């Protein structure tokens, strides 16, 4: 590949492929450069270190996994319906990542552990979306007006961790997983409801 035509996105795509092939313990910047047909110095011009490259791959993966959530959070449905849909959408996105490409999911679990600050930022952004839904539900009178929306959003996010935290991924393919989430959402909505 001509170095002038090399883009950040192309490097990230190639790095993801290299990580899938070699795993996070063995994949190197030299492997990425070799797959691109450029020198490793060229990759370092875009990403100053292996850690920065791996964090960028992780961020790209998280952005893709959570891409549908902002639109759900601000959608036209009532806040209670949006809360349910948001939690279901998050679960389905995570579940598909595990079931469609388990090797890559395992790789990203390792990378996410390396990028804990980045993961925390993503979790904070997701909790902010939940907070927006809850605040609107409180304003509309669907949810009790007691409680700070941000605190409630954090509680909802933590209560549903079994359905989005990678540590529980092994249970996501179970035959009752979606129904279990639905029952938990019912319980949470009853807890948030006014009166």
Model confidence pLDDT, tens digit, residues 115-161: 888 889 999 999 999 999 999 999 999 999 989 999 999 999 999 99
pLDDT digits (tens, 9 = 90+) for 12-52: 999 999 988 888 889 999 999 999 999 999 999 999 999 89
Look at residues 170, 191, 171 and name the one whose alpha carbon lies nearest to residue 181: 171
pTM recorded for the entire structure = 0.87
pLDDT at 3 over 80: no
What are the tens digits of pLDDT across the range 69-83? 999 999 999 999 999
Contact between 66 and 108 under an 8 Å Cβ cutoff? The reply is no
Reading the block at residue 28, the tokens are 């190197």
Is 1's pLDDT higher than 60? no
What is the number of other CB atoms lying within 10 angstroms of the CB of residue 120? 10
Q: Within 10 A of 33 (CB to CB), how many other CB atoms are there?
A: 21
Angstrom distance (rounded) from CA 19 to CA 180? 33
Boundaries of CATH 1.10.357.10 in the chain?
60-192
Q: Give me the pLDDT at residue 107, please.
A: 81
> Is the CATH code 1.10.10 the one for domain 3-48?
yes
Question: Does the domain at residues 60-192 carry the CATH identifier 1.10.357.10?
Answer: yes
In the chain, where does DSSP find H-type helix?
Answer: 8-22, 29-36, 40-46, 50-65, 69-73, 79-100, 102-114, 116-140, 149-159, 177-192
Mean pLDDT of the chain: 92
């Amino acid at each position: 590949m001509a170095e002038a035509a090399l883009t950040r996105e192309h490097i990230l795509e190639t790095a993801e492929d290299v990580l899938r092939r070699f795993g996070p313990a063995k994949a190197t910047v030299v492997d990425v450069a070799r797959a691109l047909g450029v020198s490793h110095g060229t990759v370092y011009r875009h990403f100053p270190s292996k850690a920065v490259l791996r964090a960028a791959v992780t961020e790209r993966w998280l952005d893709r996994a959570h891409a549908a959530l902002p639109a759900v959070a601000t959608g036209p449905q009532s806040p209670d319906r949006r809360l349910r849909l948001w939690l279901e959408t998050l679960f389905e996105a995570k579940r598909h990542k595990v079931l469609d490409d388990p090797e890559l999911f395992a790789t990203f679990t390792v990378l996410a552990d390396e990028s804990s600050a980045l993961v925390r930022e993503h979790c904070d952004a997701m909790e902010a979306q939940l907070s927006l839904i809850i605040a609107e539900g409180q304003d509309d009178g669907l949810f009790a007006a007691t409680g700070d929306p941000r605190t409630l959003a954090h509680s909802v996010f933590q209560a549903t961790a079994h359905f989005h935290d990678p540590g529980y991924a092994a249970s996501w393919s179970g035959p009752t997983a979606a129904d279990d989430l639905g029952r938990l959402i019912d319980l949470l909505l009853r807890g948030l409801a006014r009166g």
